[in-house]
Structure 1
Amino acid sequence: INGKKAKNTAWLKNSIGMPRLQIPCQAAESYEVRIIESAATADKALYPKQIAASESLHIQFPESFSIKRIYDPQAILQEKRIEGTMLHTQLQGKSGHHTFFVEVEKDKIRWWEAIDIEIVPDFEIIALHPEAAQLQIEIRNHRSQNEKIDIWLNHQASGITLDLKAKGSQTILLEKAHHGTNLIELRQGNCVLASQKLPFWNIPFNADQEQTQICLSNYYNDRVDDIFAFGKYMSPRPTSTSLQIPSQGFGEWCVQKILPEIDAQGFREKCDEKGLFTMPQSIRFQATKDSCPNNILFVSQWDNHPDEVEIPVENAQASHAYLLMAGSTNHQQCHLVNGIVRVQYSDGSADSLLLINPETWVPIEQDFFEDNMAFDIKAPRPYRVQLSTGLVSRNLERDLHLKDVEYSKGRNIPGGAAVMLDLPLHPDKKISAIHLESNTIESIIGLISITLVK
């Protein structure tokens, strides 16, 4: 250092990525460091940067290293075995990027090697062109071996078998897809290797299919028009300081006195003499007349409503369920399961629709802001029904020319809007009940109508 031999140097403990040397030196305006002798640059551990969830990870360290210990702060190592300079392990945890650390030694110098690994599912099912009028998907095999896979669509064998190469993919077109959400399964025998529900709202609806409306009038417990009211939601409430929602069930810490107007008169007027509201694609929903005191079934964590409701169903079989729903959700419930619609079968099994903000659960009073960047909806938008007019659209902001308001920049819907959701069902199983459940505080889950399609 500055022409003098350095003294009292020390290797730093807990160095990550490479050994680091600490060199004490006197204060000076500048330092000239000359390395008289150095070892060759240390080799790195060899391992795949991406691995399928079911496969074992094998890490080869240089022969000059010795493995001392392992630090796994994310608890992703299910099993581990060290054989010389080879580390064998089985990973666990969610898909995504993870890191654990291995302390190694070379020439009596120790440091930590950071092992960065991405866990991916064994197989991926990816929707191609989700706004198209046909169902086209890509199947990816992340395993390091060839696989023979049978494709199932909506609980039925599609007749398509794929020979997937290791780390390879194939694109296929599936016929007989449903209007809305379709369940795709990858199977080997009776084993389901992967499944995915993908919405395709531009696939035509077959209007000739038999439709059955489930009668909900005996379960209605409120009016959709009255979802927001000052002083309505008073309990339960925290006893400490909190950024809790205002008593009308709408607003935030900066917006306390806004009361969106919800008016379902136009929707009711669009119903026929039997109380049926017909969507443009000919899906029919049962609604109520003006004389009915209640017109929606609400569940929530508020004391105003039950947390969950079970609706018995007798001797019903269907391949698809379409639901007309309306309720509330807020910033705090974004990307959470706000509620669940569960269709229970007589054999004890069930199919479930998870109501997740923003993909499958939306606020009644507004349309979601989306910029395809930070604010991105990871699924095609569902159909919405403007309650004050009965207008049906998948883009109300465009069709209604929505204008800015204080609490909803460019997205406030006059009169509010319901949403049509759906769930593919097992056509060979008998339905015994439909279960509606609230899963988060403050949000309100409302069910107006259910239509089963053969």
Structure 2
Amino acid sequence: NVDIRFPLETKWVNNKLQIQSKSANSVNGKLNVNGINQSFSIQKNQNFSIEIPANVLSKGTNSIQLDYNGIKQNIEITDWKIENQAQFSTISLASKYNEKVTEIFNQKYLSPRLEVPTLQLPWQGIGNWCYPLITAQIDDSGLMNKRKNGKVDYLGIPFLIDKTDKNIAFVSQWDNYADSIEIPISGKGKKIYFLMAGSTNPMQSQIVNGKITVQYADGSTTELELKNPTNWWPIEQDLFDDNFAFEIPDDKIPYRIKLKTGEMYRGGTLDKYSSIKGFTDRQVDGGAATILDLPIDANKELKSIKLTAVSNDVVIGMMSATVLK
């Protein structure tokens, strides 16, 4: 592997972007975040802090570009404590819902499969070669009962789930569902928040399981890759980050919703987990959904959101999407 390091190292601390110069020369440049430009100058091997006004940032992920000495350095900061300064627009997915989230492991995923002997994923979509008959019971009663007028609020963000018999849009490489769906949208915004749920397996670790693509009216796109274990966690359990192998930065660990109770928590922080024999000791009773976000170009007219399943053996689902204006 090749590790490319920029002359400037950055860290987000207490609403300030801390910059440490590793360059032997002085650095003069501009910082751009959400269309706001700010000039900066750093002497060689100097530490420097830039305070970014809260009203130009949004809760969750923010994209920042540093442009200096002919270099364009793109960085992301993630801060879920930032208060959003704008209005929301919820998106109805009712016409795209094709399943109830509780049914993810209550069916048979039979095709496509190889026609030769292999260690394949059990037909219910969960399990392993030692315990091929296990399953996980998903219970969405807490989340659904918490809705008021079809909406539920987490982190100050409204999520619309405006149907009860079906409440999720699944995509998959399995023939049970289409491999992608497209949701028409319009208007403008600076971010979209998503409530997601689905499956993943050890064979899909460290790779892209699915992707969310936001298309603008001019044909350009912005994309969010759903990658195990960074931001795509299995519905039935929490992943374990031991701060050694495959380290996930603490600020990147997603917020999750216990479907059975409607409780929100930071992934991996529950006081009590259940067990599925031979499979996991970190089962979330009733399953969990995940909150994700994607910064978008606030200057462009929106056209659609496309959800695509990339990896085999997984089911990717979207329960809700909300635009931050």
TM-score by length of 1: 0.66
For the aligned residues, what is the CA RMSD? 2.3
* Residue 58 of structure 2 is aligned to residue 178 of structure 1: yes
Separation in 1, partners of 2:10, 2:120: 39
Structure 1 counterpart SS, 2:270: helix
- CA 1:277/1:408 → structure 2, altered by over 3 Å: closer, same or farther? farther
Query: Which of 85, 94, 115 is equivalent to 1:239?
Result: 115
* Residue 15 of structure 2 is aligned to residue 134 of structure 1: yes
Separation in 1, partners of 2:318, 2:282: 23
- CA 1:369/1:193 → structure 2, altered by over 3 Å: closer, same or farther? same
TM-score by length of 2: 0.90
Matched with 1:264 is 140
Separation in 2, partners of 1:421, 1:414: 21
Structure 2 counterpart SS, 1:318: coil
Structure 2 counterpart SS, 1:288: coil
- CA 1:324/1:139 → structure 2, altered by over 3 Å: closer, same or farther? farther
- What is the CA-CA distance between 1:236 and the residue it aligns to? 0.5
Structure 2 residue runs of 5 or longer lacking an equivalent are none
- CA 1:433/1:137 → structure 2, altered by over 3 Å: closer, same or farther? farther
C-alpha distance after superposition, 1:307-327 (max 9, x if no partner)? 11221212x111111100000
**Which stretch of structure 1 is more off in the superposition, 299-308 or 120-129?**
120-129
Separation in 1, partners of 2:89, 2:159: 9
- What is the CA-CA distance between 1:140 and the residue it aligns to? 4.6
Structure 2 counterpart SS, 1:398: coil
1:438 corresponds to which letter in structure 2? A
Contact 2:256/2:290 (8 A) holds in 1 = yes
* Residue 185 of structure 2 is aligned to residue 342 of structure 1: no
- CA 1:250/1:333 → structure 2, altered by over 3 Å: closer, same or farther? same
Query: Which of 153, 175, 184 is equivalent to 1:278?
Result: 153
1:300 corresponds to which letter in structure 2? S
Alignment of 1:219-238 (within 5 A): 219-230=96-107, 232-238=108-114
1:417 corresponds to which letter in structure 2? A
1:449 corresponds to which letter in structure 2? S
Higher gyration radius (CA):
1
Separation in 2, partners of 1:370, 1:267: 26
Alignment of 1:365-376 (within 5 A): 365-374=236-245, 376=247
Structure 2 counterpart SS, 1:326: strand
Q: Bigger relative contact order, structure 1 or 2, given CA contacts below 8 A and separation 6+?
A: 2
Separation in 2, partners of 1:379, 1:361: 15
Separation in 1, partners of 2:49, 2:83: 24
Structure 1 residue runs of 5 or longer lacking an equivalent are 1-93, 97-119
- CA 1:311/1:348 → structure 2, altered by over 3 Å: closer, same or farther? same
1:303 corresponds to which letter in structure 2? D
C-alpha distance after superposition, 1:344-395 (max 9, x if no partner)? 1122222211111111110000011121112532352211111111001114
Structure 2 counterpart SS, 1:239: coil
Contact 2:128/2:279 (8 A) holds in 1 = no
Matched with 1:163 is 42
- CA 1:170/1:218 → structure 2, altered by over 3 Å: closer, same or farther? same
